[in-house]
Chain A
Amino acid sequence: MVESVEALCALRGTIARIEGQRMADAPAAAALGHAGIDAAIGGGLARGRLHELFAAQPEDAGAAAGFATMLALLALPPGAPLLWLRQDEAERGAGRLHPPGLAEIGLDPSRLVLVVLPDPVALLRAAAEVVRCPQVGVAVIEPWRRPRALDLTASRRLAIAAEASGVTALMLRADAEPGPSAAQTRWSVTAAASTALEADAPGHPTFDLELLRRRGGPAGGRWRLEWDRERVRFREPALPRAVPAVAAGGSLPGAAPRYAR
């Protein structure tokens, strides 16, 4: 029994040496502002790591891109640029990245450098170069659909480059199934009904977020988050305002209290 414990300790030491010093100096984490999530992922989104964001369904692409922008904004060091890598097909099929929309989320569009690539191989090659450059703050890598070139090796290459340079890499997959990868965390993003403003206007960006995977820690957990642009953090969506009593038996569609406890 004692021998096996000693063997285990030795094994742990060996693995730690193989993994290198990288695990020792924990990267600064960008807090999301939501206590539950920050606790679940160890204080916030780890900078200098690769993270994967999946849209739960192709129609949630807008929500996933919005979540990527918000994470990028949280993880961006002051003054550093955001590099967003897309493919021609995404610019055509999923809509162009609209700089005023970034400004509405709180990110200054003059910090954005958009790189539009002709094919997935060029995208991954450019991504490796971008992630290796230490002056880049955050790189958002958005392959179109499910490219064959994006496998565990490519993902591992990006993850190692991100650890070496300290660039936070966000892999945005609008229309794909999770596959093997070397990402630190993996999220699934679904658009959620927002808390209505006055006159039943659509409210602030709201998501259902699921932590699918986390390296070196337990996964799982679902949250509903709302983006607070003024304080640059996520928050719990507020409960909808009190709905005036309607005539018995009648209910207004869309005005029903969704989060009544």
Chain B
Amino acid sequence: MLPADRFRALHPDTPADQPLAFIEKQRGAMRIVAVDARALRLGIAPGLTLADARARVPELAAIDHDPHADALWLERIADGCDRYTPMVALDPPDGITLDISGTEHLFGGEGALAADAERRIAALGLHLRHAVAATPEAAQALARYQTMPAPDEAAAVRRLPVAALRLEEEIEVALGRAGLKTIGDLAQRPSAPIAARFGSETVATLDRLIGHADSRIVPRRPLPALLFERRFAEPILRTEQALLTISELAGEAAGALEERRSGGRRFAVRLYRSDGLTRDLAIETSLPTRDPALVVRLMRERIDALADPIDPGFGFDMIRLAVPMAEPLGASQFQLEGGSVSADALAALVDRLGTRLGRGRVRRFAPRDTHIPEQRALPLPAMDSPAPAPWGSPVPGEPPLRPLHLFDPPQPIEVLAEVPDGPPRRFRWRRTHHDVTRFEGPERIASEWWRVKVERLPDPEPSVVHPDPGRDDLEAAEEMPPARHPRPLLTRDYFRVEDARGRRFWLFRHGLYGSETDRPCWYVHGLFA
């Protein structure tokens, strides 16, 4: 029913009495994989070919089946079910299982909780069948297969058909042939012969279903250590009010975090709309914090930076704040005149910019152990506060040997230079000619062949891996015939040059003339101060 309900929710102008069928190409024929209630009443069942179905019900509407969209829709509904318990698991293709142990009294008992869920989900235009049972398997089976009411849960489970075990089709058929039609038939027999005949999986599933074996659901997301929520009798409509609530919740979180002597690195807010949809907002901080004002300020930044603004719909009726990530943080000192001592202002600035612009836009750099210039510096988000790493100090007395600006990718230029390995005399870059008056070079930087994963043929010459780093690249390049070794990376000869007007450039020749390439290209890779 889920595909049909989703289709009707997206296309509200579909007539209510129009039978719908969802089709997919299977084994060369268009077959029906899902139908709506009306088509089912007309005798159209999944598995039928579209041609057969059309012959029986000419007015049938055939729609392409989209299991991915259905799964996303189910995920959104599961998000909304988070309001009842944090332990929510998906039961594909169309089920959601909630672990409500210990939370049902907050809603006035199992019945009231189920009625609330039914009301909300019906508001989305979905058909719902629900069941409450002692084990997740029993609840799933009862919701799917129960046809008539039973005096108690055990009796209801015993009346279910063996299909409720959701075993493989062959085993199901074999059980039917053996005359075992219901769970009760199966459960009253000794388990050893059943295991021998139908596989041990059958017995294990049966034990879980009737509650002989312990079984738990695996929640969709790990439970955060701290959760704070606020429910509203009347849904709130304005973002400002929501922020006010978030600030109250952050205050509660601050108290709890202080007791644990820790501070949050990540705060996640979930806004529950009264129609069952949810909206998530999350912020991160570079230092552990429990300052409610900071949390609210970052939330405000996050909301301002949203591409599509928050749509409250008919209002939010619940707001939850979770602290999924916390780190140790000592007790804070309060100022004599009130208010705490101002925290690290720089960290707060980095958090604010990172929250508004995105983590990757506020960077610090760490050195990498490589000779390739463009890979030398690794940008890291400043919010992760990477530890400062030592950069090598420049050689005293030398002018700068690395440029201040680096082009990535390098920009191709036309160069007048001596063949095979002379320095550049004149070059043309960005439609301007530059006459080289001074140069230094070449500084040869070979490709890092030991990092490149090319298929290496067994090589008889051991001199390919030459111990002398000064000669290694040249000889290796010369001794390796290009036909045998795919060499996508060429050696670069770098020149530091100065033109007649005093501008300093970093140029390189890509490839060794003759051995690596016949026409080496030239590039400008950087600008010096």
Q: Is the CB–CB distance between B346 and A105 below 8 Å? A: no
A-contact 0/1 string along B327-352, CB 8 Å cutoff: 00000000000000000111011101
Contact with B along A179-202 (1 / 0, CB 8 A): 000000000001111101101111
- Chain B residues contacting A95 (CB-CB under 8 Å) are 403, 405-408, 526-527
Would you give the shortest CB distance from A92 to chain B, in whole angstroms? 9
Q: Is B405 a contact of A101 with CB atoms below 8 Å?
A: yes
- Closest partner residue, chain A, to B350 (CB atom): A113
Known contacts A101-B402, A205-B528; 8 further A-B pairs (Cβ under 8 A): A59-B432, A65-B527, A95-B408, A95-B526, A105-B404, A133-B346, A135-B345, A191-B504
| A98 interface neighbour in B352, B404, B439, B503, Cβ under 8 Å | B404
Q: Which residues of A contact B399 (CB under 8 A)?
A: 194, 197, 201-205
Q: Does any Cβ of A come within 8 Å of B497's Cβ?
A: yes
Binds A, one of B237-245, B362-370, B460-468, B511-519: B362-370
With a cutoff of 8 Å between Cβ atoms, the chain B residues found around residue A104 in the complex are 394, 400-402, 404
Please determine whether B402 and A113 come into contact, CB atoms closer than 8 angstroms: no
State A193–B346 Cα separation when bound (angstroms).
40
Instruction: Assess whether B124 is interfacial by the CB under 8 Å rule.
Output: no
Interface size on B, residues (CB 8 A): 56
- Is B357 in contact with A117, judged by CB distance below 8 angstroms? yes
The reply to whether A192 and B496 form a contact with Cβ atoms under 8 Å apart is: no
Q: Report the bound CA distance from A99 to B391 in whole Å.
A: 9
Which residues of A lie under 8 Å from residue B403 when comparing CB positions? 62, 95, 98, 101
Flag whether B151 is at the interface (Cβ < 8 A): no
Q: B56-64, B166-174, B375-383, B473-481: which one contacts chain A?
A: B375-383
CB within 8 Å for A136 and B405 given contacts A99-B365, A101-B526, A193-B502 = no
Whether B397 contacts A59 by the Cβ 8 Å rule is no
Q: Nearest CB to that of A130 among chain B residues?
A: B349
Least CB separation from A93: chain B residue? B407
Select from chain B the residue with minimum beta-carbon distance to A67. Answer: B529
Docked pose: A129 CA to B346 CA in angstroms: 11
Number of chain A residues whose Cβ lies closer than 8 Å to a Cβ of chain B: 62
Task: Give the distance in Å from the alpha carbon of A110 to the alpha carbon of B378 in the complex.
Answer: 11
User: In the bound complex, do residue A105 and residue B529 qualify as a contact, i.e. CB atoms below 8 Å apart?
Assistant: yes
- Give complex CA distance A98, B379 in Å: 10
Q: Tell yes or no: B501 within 8 A of A by CB.
A: yes
Query: B402 contacts which chain A residues (CB < 8 A)?
Result: 98, 100-101, 103-104
B352, B382, B392, B497 pick with most chain A CB within 10 angstroms? B382
| Contact B404 A101, beta carbon cutoff 8 Å | yes
The residue in chain B whose Cβ has the minimal distance to the Cβ of A63 is B529
A196 in contact with B438 (CB, 8 Å): yes
B348 partner residues in chain A, CB cutoff 8 A: 133
Contact B394 A59 (CB under 8 A): no
Which residues of chain B from 408 to 467 have any CB-CB distance to chain A below 8 Å in the complex? 408, 432, 437-440
Q: Which residues of A contact B (CB under 8 A)?
A: 59-63, 65-67, 69-70, 81, 94-106, 108-110, 112-118, 122, 126, 129-130, 133-136, 190-194, 196-197, 199-206, 227, 229-230, 253-254
Among B382, B396, B404, B439, the residue within 8 A (CB) of A113 is B382
Considering the chains assembled together, what is the distance between the CA atoms of A95 and B409 in angstroms?
Answer: 9
Q: Which residues of chain A come closer than 8 Å to B397, judged between CB atoms?
A: 230
- The CA of A95 and the CA of B390, in the complex, are separated in Å by 24
Given contacts A129-B353, A191-B504, A201-B440, contact A62 B361 (CB under 8 A): no
Determine whether B179 belongs to the interface, using a CB cutoff of 8 Å to chain A. no
Tell whether, in the assembled complex, residue B529 and residue A115 are in contact, meaning their CB atoms are under 8 Å apart. no
Q: Are B437 and A114 in contact (CB under 8 A)?
A: no
Closest 5 CB pairs of A and B: A66-B529, A95-B405, A62-B527, A254-B437, A104-B400
Contact B405 A116 (CB under 8 A): no
| Given A62-B528, A69-B404, A105-B404: A113 and B437 interface contact (C-beta under 8 Å) | no
Bound Cα distance from A26 to B385, whole angstroms: 35
Q: What residues of chain A lie closer than 8 Å to B357, measured between beta carbons?
A: 115, 117-118, 122, 126
Is the beta-carbon distance between B503 and A59 smaller than 8 angstroms?
Answer: yes
Which chain A positions have C-beta within 8 A of B110? none
A114 to B410, CA, bound (A): 21
A204 to B504, CA, bound (A): 10
> A183 to chain B: closest CB distance in Å?
22
Closest to B407 in A: A95
Residue B393 lies at the interface, judged by CB distance under 8 Å to chain A: yes
**Complex contact B408–A96 (CB within 8 A):** yes
Q: A129 contacts B352, CB within 8 Å?
A: yes
Question: Which residues of B sit under 8 angstroms from A70, Cβ to Cβ?
Answer: 529
Interface residue B153 (Cβ < 8 Å from any Cβ of A) = no
B144 smallest CB distance to A (angstroms): 50
A77 CA to B315 CA, complexed, in Å: 51
CB-defined contacts of A190 to chain B, threshold 8 Å:
502
Which residue in A61, A113, A116, A204 is a CB contact (below 8 Å) of B364? A113
A191 to B363, CA, bound (A): 29
Q: Are B365 and A62 in contact, CB atoms less than 8 angstroms apart?
A: no
CB neighbours of B376 from chain A (8 A) = 98-100
Chain B residue numbers with a CB within 8 Å of A135 are 344-346, 349
Report the Cα distance A200→B441, complex, angstroms. 11
- CB-nearest residue of chain A relative to B345? A135
Task: A226 to B518: give the CA distance in the assembly, Å.
Answer: 41
Closest to A230 in B: B396
Which residues from A are CB-within-8-Å of B527?
61-62, 65, 95
In the bound assembly, the distance between CA atoms of A190 and B501 in angstroms comes to 9
Q: Does B389 contact A (CB under 8 A)?
A: yes
B229 touches A (CB below 8 Å): no
Q: Decide: A194 near B504, CB < 8 A? Known: A67-B529, A98-B403, A100-B391.
A: yes
CB distance from A168 to the nearest CB of B (A): 15
Chain A: CB-nearest residue to B348: A133
